[in-house]
Chain A
Amino acid sequence: MIARRTAGATRFTAARRRISVGVMLRYVLRRMISLGLSLLVASALIFSVVELVPGDPASFMLGTGAQPETVAALRQQMGLDQPLPLRYAAWVGALLQGDLGQSFTYKTPIGGMILERMQVSLPLALMALTLAAAIAFPVGIYAAARRGKAGDAAVMGGTQLGIALPNFWFAMLLVLLFAVKLRWLPAGGFPGWSQPDAALRSLILPAVALALPQAAILARVLRSALIETQGQDYIRTARAKGLTAGQTLRRHALRNALIPVLTIMGMQFSFLLAGAIIIENVFYLPGLGRLIFQAISQRDLIVVQSAVLVLVAAVIAVTFLVDLAYAAVDPRLRNR
């Protein structure tokens, strides 16, 4: 009887494992399809918005005094005289073959331009986010542990300041102190990764300037998530086991509070990737944000289109990673 039940249980467990592998595969497949669809919708949206923006690239390139015939000839050369659907199809067709097109202004492949800018933007975003998390975790945990006491109030006030301060102003203060006065770090510019040491040093101040408000937001989210988690029944169970308040917080509350924190971090990373434009300008960094900004002002529409699409792809990829992180944190999400 017992033996039979055991065999049944083993079969049951094996069956469940098999199902979970099948479910996982189907999940990934479903995500890939939805990722592809999202990109398609995004491409159509980006294309139409860029088309709606006033300003003809050809007349912009030739200046205000150009003859209409010259402009028309350039438009034809650039393919701008073709009907919209055809141009959209041509763009997407090229994208599918990995060709992001050629810049109108610089006549260079856009893929290479974006790649070059990514070498600044990606490390910068990663550094800023790591720094933000490194500040936010101890601060958020401290505030949650001292909920309602002076330490908590001080931290909450500080984070509000951190969110309210304009980061470009903070960036300039950093430059004045660390670059101008102390001369520890460069005030701006980017020497390229051929000199890894100098490259890294030039990213430190911008990363700090970017990280501060993000750290403040993250610390607040972590604090409130921790406080909510600490009201749960299993925290009471942990206390009844004989864990101290501190052990309970570290061993039980923290991991349970991670889900909202991960959500915010995913959003912050996407923002940092392209939203660092003001900081890039303050520090003269050749990042992705500046590339897009310049392309817009030069009516280099094809660059705008392709760069924005790459960003959308990055955001979708980050969201996917965050979902995987949820599953890593929470076993209940693994079989969905």
Chain B
Amino acid sequence: MIDLRDLSVTIRGTQVLRDVDLRLHPGSITGLVGESGSGKSMTALAIMGLLPHRAQIGGQVMLDGQNLLTMSEPALCKIRGRRIGMIFQEPMTALNPLMTIGDQVAEVLRIHHGMDRTAALARARERLDRVGLPDPRFPLTLYPHELSGGQRQRVAIALAIAERPDLLIADEPTTALDVTTQAQILDLLAGLVREEGMALLLITHDLAVVAGLADRVAVMKAGEIVEEGPTETLFRTRSHPYTHQLFAASRHAPSRHAPATGSPLLRIRDAVREYRLPGGDRLRAVDGVSLTIGRGESVGLVGESGCGKSTLTRAILGLDPLQGGTIALDGRQVMAGRRMPRDLRARMQVVFQDPFGSFDPRWRVARLVAEPFHLTDRPAGWRDRVGAALSEVGLHPDDADRYIHEFSGGQRQRIAIARALIIRPDLIVLDEAVSALDVRVRAQVLDLLAGLRRSHGLSYLFISHDLSVVRGITDRVLVMQKGRIVEDGAAEQVIDTPSAPYTRRLVAAMPRIPTDWVA
């Protein structure tokens, strides 16, 4: 059993954890939920003894009566990977790209038991079989780049549980994965806890994930655990106001006006987009897609990674050429590259997922927001327009003189929306635009988007893997699978009573909080 007592961590004068008490029992799952920066990952790193060097630590992390915090580094190396295993959020980068998956799993056994390579590989084979990567489909000689994200997360789990640890810490293990893959990974983790009797600390921002899985839940805010208890009780009572807020935000759907019945704005007919693969084969990423978005309409496009939604988006924005079919905006044909007239480009704007990567850090906000003016020539009062756009997204006009690093993730996404708004487009493509945001911030941004749509008569193409968000903000949902649209209908209808088998699978895999818990 692992027991955290009064765990406090201070890094460079900032207290990041304050008197954290948490008990992790064998064979049970503890969910640790909270927003980014609340100290969830710090708690995990403190247990692992992997905090940054400058961190000052107080309290105790007890494992079998020993305090890990006072243990020497060599002694901790014998605990990590053997008694406590850990998996991380980003499976794409969590594995060494130059080492076979067999060797990476075997390495754990070799360093802790001095096992020879053959014996360690045999055990690694067993563990990979256990996590659902069976021989011969997944030989030990595969490299990480030959596997998908979900498969790589399975390898990461295999090496974390190779030694059958007492505790497995999973830090946002499924946040980067598709819903169906997420459901499989969560199943796997639950099975491991049941069969091998380990304790699981499941760190996530997603309340729905812990609802279906955890025995107990701890809610963390600003370095403190504000509420802790059995999952169902905690979800039903929500006694702490912060827990209550998180709940409300995660289920938030902005008020929507009746679906617009305007004339068609974007019309796509039989669009085909192909790639040539190394080796000469062709991949048809978009395969005969037809769709229409009406003026003032908000349309969701959902599907798992690799289904072609990003490829389709690039074609709509006129960034890539089509190999067949047409895309027309307000009757004018969209073409890739220089052949597309600037005034047509100015009628579409895009907001991407990553609030940190989509801005030049050396530019001031005024220049960032005014950038789309290169499509229309900069009007005389452009600075006022920047100020007005910033006000519209809930920021202050004076923010124009600041740099992007001075803003939080949610504020950056507001700036991205201001940048899209400034040349008054007809259509804004929102490509996973709220996926990286915390629930409360996400709720605010969704409200903002709904309000802007009302006041400006905007159309949205809202691309997301998250069905619950799509349901809240769009009038109509398109479901995409392997380059084709497999279902098209009103948002509520598609998600509540899906008709295509693929949509049914997606909806079934969607984690959700039981309805009677929140009644």
Contacts and interface: CB of A to CB of B under 8 A. Distances in A.
Q: Which of A22, A331, A332, A336 has the most CB of B within 10 A?
A: A331
B158 to A, nearest CB: 11
Given A6-B136, A233-B90, A335-B278, A242 B81 contact: yes
A240 B93 contact: no
B112 A237 contact: no
Contacts of A256: 96-98
Q: Which of A6, A22, A237, A329 has the most CB of B within 10 A?
A: A237
B502 interface: no
B77 A236 contact: no
Nearest to A10: B136
A9 B137 contact: yes
Contacts of B97: 234, 256, 330-332
Given A234-B93, A236-B50, A332-B143, A242 B112 contact: yes
Interface stretch (A118-126, A243-251, A267-275, A308-316): A243-251
Contacts of A6: 136-137
Contacts of B156: 237
A65 B139 CA distance: 81
B86 interface: yes
Interface in B414-443: none
Q: Which of A13, A242, A256, A329 has the most CB of B within 10 A?
A: A242
B301 interface: no
Contacts of B253: none
Nearest to B138: A9
A45 interface: no
Interface in A97-111: none
Interface in B334-388: none
Contact of B107 (A23, A233, A241, A332): A241
A238 B77 CA distance: 11
B88 A236 contact: yes
Nearest to B89: A233
Interface in B41-77: 48, 50, 73-74, 77
Contacts of A232: 93
Nearest to B81: A242
B279 A22 contact: yes
Contacts of A239: 48, 50, 80
B79 interface: yes
B74 A240 contact: no
Interface string B97-109: 1110000000110
Contacts of B314: none
B95 interface: yes
Interface string B118-146: 00000000000000000011010001010
A242 B108 contact: yes
Given A19-B279, A23-B278, A241-B107, A331 B159 contact: no
B260 to A, nearest CB: 44
Interface string B16-30: 000000000000000
B93 A233 contact: yes
Interface residues of B, number: 35
Interface in A208-263: 232-234, 236-244, 247, 251-252, 255-256
A329 B136 CA distance: 25
Given A6-B136, A241-B159, A242-B79, A251 B107 contact: yes
B39 interface: no
A237 B95 contact: yes
A10 B138 CA distance: 10
A181 interface: no
Interface string A292-303: 000000000000
A255 B50 CA distance: 23
Interface string A67-93: 000000000000000000000000000
Nearest to B78: A242
A234 B96 contact: yes
Q: Which of A233, A330, A336 has the most CB of B within 10 A?
A: A233
Nearest to A12: B137
A238 B78 CA distance: 13
Interface string B32-45: 00000000000000
A23 to B, nearest CB: 6
A238 B108 CA distance: 9
Contacts of B160: 240
B85 interface: yes
A330 B98 contact: yes
Contact of B136 (A9, A22, A247): A9
A11 B151 CA distance: 20
Nearest to B49: A239
Contacts of A242: 77-82, 108, 111-112
A240 B50 contact: yes
A244 B96 contact: no
A275 to B, nearest CB: 32
A240 B139 CA distance: 24
Contacts of B291: none
Nearest to A239: B50
Q: Which of B79, B93, B112 has the most CB of A within 10 A?
A: B93
B98 A329 contact: yes
B94 interface: yes
A336 B136 contact: no
Interface string A8-29: 0110010000010011000000
B279 A243 contact: no
B111 A243 contact: yes
Contacts of A5: 137
Contacts of B279: 19, 22-23
B81 to A, nearest CB: 3
A260 B97 CA distance: 16
Contacts of A9: 136-137
Contact of A331 (B85, B98, B278): B98
Contacts of B85: 240
B41 to A, nearest CB: 11
Interface string B220-248: 00000000000000000000000000000
Given A242-B78, A243-B77, A332-B145, A234 B94 contact: yes
Interface in A175-194: none
Contact of B108 (A13, A241, A330, A332): A241
Contacts of B88: 233, 236-237, 240
Nearest to B93: A233
A336 B79 CA distance: 41
A192 B90 CA distance: 59
B136 A240 contact: no
A23 B111 CA distance: 38
B510 to A, nearest CB: 27
Contacts of B93: 232-234
27 contacts: A9-B136, A9-B137, A19-B279, A22-B279, A234-B95, A236-B94, A239-B80, A240-B48, A240-B88, A241-B80, A241-B81, A241-B111, A241-B159, A242-B77, A242-B79, A242-B80, A242-B81, A242-B108, A243-B81, A244-B73, A251-B107, A252-B96, A252-B99, A256-B97, A331-B143, A331-B145, A336-B278
Given A22-B279, A240-B86, 10 more contacts: A5-B137, A9-B137, A19-B279, A233-B90, A234-B95, A242-B112, A243-B111, A244-B77, A331-B143, A332-B97
Q: Which 3 A-B pairs have the closest CB atoms?
A: A242-B81, A241-B81, A233-B93
Interface of B: 48, 50, 73-74, 77-82, 85-86, 88, 90, 93-99, 107-108, 111-112, 136-137, 139, 143, 145, 156, 159-160, 278-279
